[in-house]
């Protein structure tokens, strides 16, 4: 028995010394320690040896297991290192590495993030709506008559099923009031679509940031205060804000907002539309909801919509709106 143990041990150590790969080592391991390997065989023999010899053989078997296992492990790590060395070869660690390129947010996104941070501080929360909308949400609910030019197929992208690509984000006002009870104080942003001739100042897809506040006793003073605060936070406290009377079907009175501030160049920049929610809009929402939560006798409110492209262009001195969508890395990398 003793010589058998020594033979198995000696053979295993020899084979390990000669092994040239990790898989060869694994084969040796199975041959010795596998279920029907030589170690298992010796263990079975041990049970048949006379009782007084068993402690000695038992110890020898234990030694065998320890010695062969250690040897396998040592050789394994050696082969691993040699393998690494072969892969690394004559790698020159003093060569400079390849620098990775950092991306950055699109200038439009930067502006939006800045504006949204201000609106959050003003207590507005985020509302959403899809780009594809019903005619009702885009026009009817917003008090826009059937013969309004915006409803014309020449100006708006209609889908075959009668839905359309929203022409403004004011659809989000309607969506919010449909599903939420007053008071509401939300902003929504996203793409809007119009069938314009594409040129240096027009795209068929652009972006707006919309705000809606509906509560009890909201007045024009609230609207003006909110707008002035918002734009001064955005452009600096010396920014001047001008409200020019205008017309939107869904607000009354309505205004266009012009801003004059050094960061957006000299002169007045027309940036946004706003106004007090027209009672007809509250009536449309009430009919749809089937309750009087938005009855114009109970609530009032204001809304505003800001075009983001023109503002981004003014803030960054961009002369052609098409640069914002062309994805030209030479243009975009200037905003890193
Ligand atoms: N939806 C209007 C537009 O696209 C802007 C607007 C929003 C005006 C909210 C008033 C209130 O021109």
Of 49-58, 137-146, 243-252, 296-305, the one with minimum mean pLDDT is: 49-58
275 CA → ligand 1 middle, Å: 8
Nearest-CA residue for atom 12 of ligand 1: 273
58 band by pLDDT with thresholds 50, 70 and 90? confident
pLDDT at 42 over 90: no
| pLDDT score recorded for residue 77 | 87
Structural domain including 20 reads 2-88
Query: Is 96 a member of any domain?
Result: no
Strand 240-248 and strand 251-260: the pairing is antiparallel
Atom number, ligand 1, closest to the C-alpha of residue 173: 9
Average model confidence (pLDDT) across the chain = 94
Each residue of 70-100: b (16+ CB within 10 Å) or e?
A: ebbeebbeebeeeeeeeeeeeeeeeeeeeee
Quote the number of domains for the chain: 2
| pLDDT score recorded for residue 212 | 98
Same domain (yes/no): 73, 138: no
329 CA → ligand 1 middle, Å: 33
Same domain (yes/no): 217, 316: yes
| pLDDT score recorded for residue 217 | 97
pLDDT in tens, 179-214: 999 999 999 999 999 999 999 999 999 999 999 999
Atom number, ligand 1, closest to the C-alpha of residue 305: 7
Same domain (yes/no): 143, 248: yes
Give the global pTM: 0.73
E strands of 99-204, at which residues? Answer: 125-126, 132-133, 164-165, 184-193
Contact 210, 188 (CB under 8 A): yes
Query: Is 72 a member of any domain?
Result: yes
Q: For residue 24, count other CB atoms closer than 10 A to its CB.
A: 15
Nearest-CA residue for atom 4 of ligand 1: 168
Query: Is 184 a member of any domain?
Result: yes
**């502006």: which residue's tokens?**
111
Same domain (yes/no): 172, 293: yes
Query: Is 95 a member of any domain?
Result: no
- Percent pLDDT > 70 in the chain is 100
Same domain (yes/no): 33, 167: no
170 CA → ligand 1 middle, Å: 6
pLDDT at 256 over 90: yes
Query: Structure tokens of 140?
Result: 């009817």
Strand 251-260 and strand 269-277: the pairing is antiparallel
Q: For residue 48, count other CB atoms closer than 10 A to its CB.
A: 8
Count how many residues are written for the chain.
Answer: 336
Query: Is 98 a member of any domain?
Result: no
88 CA → ligand 1 middle, Å: 63
Same domain (yes/no): 75, 144: no
What CA–CA distance (Å, rounded) separates 44 from 302?
91
| Ligand 1 pocket, residue 275 CB under 6 Å | yes
Q: Which of 27-31, 93-97, 141-145, 315-319 has the highest mean pLDDT?
A: 141-145
What CA–CA distance (Å, rounded) separates 75 from 159?
71
| Ligand 1 pocket, residue 304 CB under 6 Å | yes
289 CA → ligand 1 middle, Å: 23
pLDDT at 9 over 90: no
142 CA → ligand 1 middle, Å: 10
Contact 135, 184 (CB under 8 A): no
What CA–CA distance (Å, rounded) separates 305 from 271?
9
Query: Is 97 a member of any domain?
Result: no
| Ligand 1 pocket, residue 213 CB under 6 Å | no
Q: What is the mean pLDDT of residues 16-40?
A: 89
| Ligand 1 pocket, residue 129 CB under 6 Å | no
Mapping DSSP to helix (H, G, I), strand (E, B) and coil, where does residue 210 land?
Answer: strand
Contact 173, 282 (CB under 8 A): no
| pLDDT score recorded for residue 88 | 84
pLDDT in tens, 131-147: 999 999 999 999 999 99
Handedness of CA 235, 238, 243, 244 (dihedral sign): negative
Query: Structure tokens of 318?
Result: 């961009």
Nearest-CA residue for atom 3 of ligand 1: 168
261 CA → ligand 1 middle, Å: 22
Exposed, middle or buried, 220 (CB in 10 Å: 0-12/13-18/19+)?
middle
Same domain (yes/no): 206, 295: yes
Same domain (yes/no): 231, 281: yes
Same domain (yes/no): 61, 124: no
| pLDDT score recorded for residue 146 | 95
| Ligand 1 pocket, residue 171 CB under 6 Å | no
Considering 88, 123, 143, which residue would you say is the last residue of a domain? 88
Same domain (yes/no): 81, 182: no
237 band by pLDDT with thresholds 50, 70 and 90? very high
Same domain (yes/no): 14, 149: no
| Ligand 1 pocket, residue 248 CB under 6 Å | yes
Q: What is the mean pLDDT of residues 82-99?
A: 85
Name the residue among 45, 294, 285, 311 with its Cα closest to residue 142.
285
223 CA → ligand 1 middle, Å: 14
Query: Structure tokens of 111?
Result: 């502006």
Same domain (yes/no): 118, 44: no
Q: What is the mean pLDDT of residues 69-82?
A: 87
Handedness of CA 263, 268, 269, 272 (dihedral sign): positive
């Amino acid at each position: 028995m003793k010589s058998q143990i020594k033979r198995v041990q000696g053979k295993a150590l020899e084979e390990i010394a000669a092994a040239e790969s990790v898989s060869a080592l694994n084969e040796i391991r199975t041959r010795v320690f596998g279920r029907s390997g030589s170690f298992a065989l010796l263990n079975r023999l041990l049970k048949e040896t006379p009782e007084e010899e068993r402690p000695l053989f038992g110890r020898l078997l234990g030694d065998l297991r320890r010695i062969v296992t250690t040897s396998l492990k040592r050789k394994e790590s050696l082969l691993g290192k040699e393998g690494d060395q072969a892969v690394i070869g004559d790698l020159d660690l003093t060569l400079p590495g390849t620098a990775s390129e950092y991306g950055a947010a699109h200038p439009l996104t930067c502006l939006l993030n800045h504006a949204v941070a201000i609106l959050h501080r003003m207590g507005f929360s985020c509302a959403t709506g899809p780009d594809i909308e019903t005619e009702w949400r885009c026009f009817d609910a917003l008090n826009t008559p059937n013969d309004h030019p915006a409803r014309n197929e020449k100006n708006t992208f209609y889908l075959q099923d009668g839905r359309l690509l929203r022409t403004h984000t004011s659809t989000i006002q309607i969506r919010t009031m449909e599903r939420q009870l007053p008071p509401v104080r939300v902003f929504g942003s996203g793409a809007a679509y119009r069938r314009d001739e594409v040129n240096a100042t027009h795209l068929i897809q652009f972006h707006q940031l919309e705000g809606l506040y509906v509560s009890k006793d909201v007045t024009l003073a609230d609207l003006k205060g909110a707008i002035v605060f918002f734009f001064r936070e955005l452009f600096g406290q010396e920014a001047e804000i001008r409200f020019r009377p205008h017309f939107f079907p869904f607000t009354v009175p309505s205004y266009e907002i012009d801003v004059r501030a050094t960061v957006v160049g000299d002169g007045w920049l027309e940036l946004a539309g706003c106004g007090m929610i027209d009672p007809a809009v509250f009536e449309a929402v009430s009919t749809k909801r089937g309750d009087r939560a938005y009855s114009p006798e109970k609530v009032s409110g204001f809304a505003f919509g800001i075009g983001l492209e023109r503002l981004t262009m003014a803030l960054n001195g961009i002369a052609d709106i098409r640069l914002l969508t062309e994805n030209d890395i030479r243009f975009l990398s200037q905003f890193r």
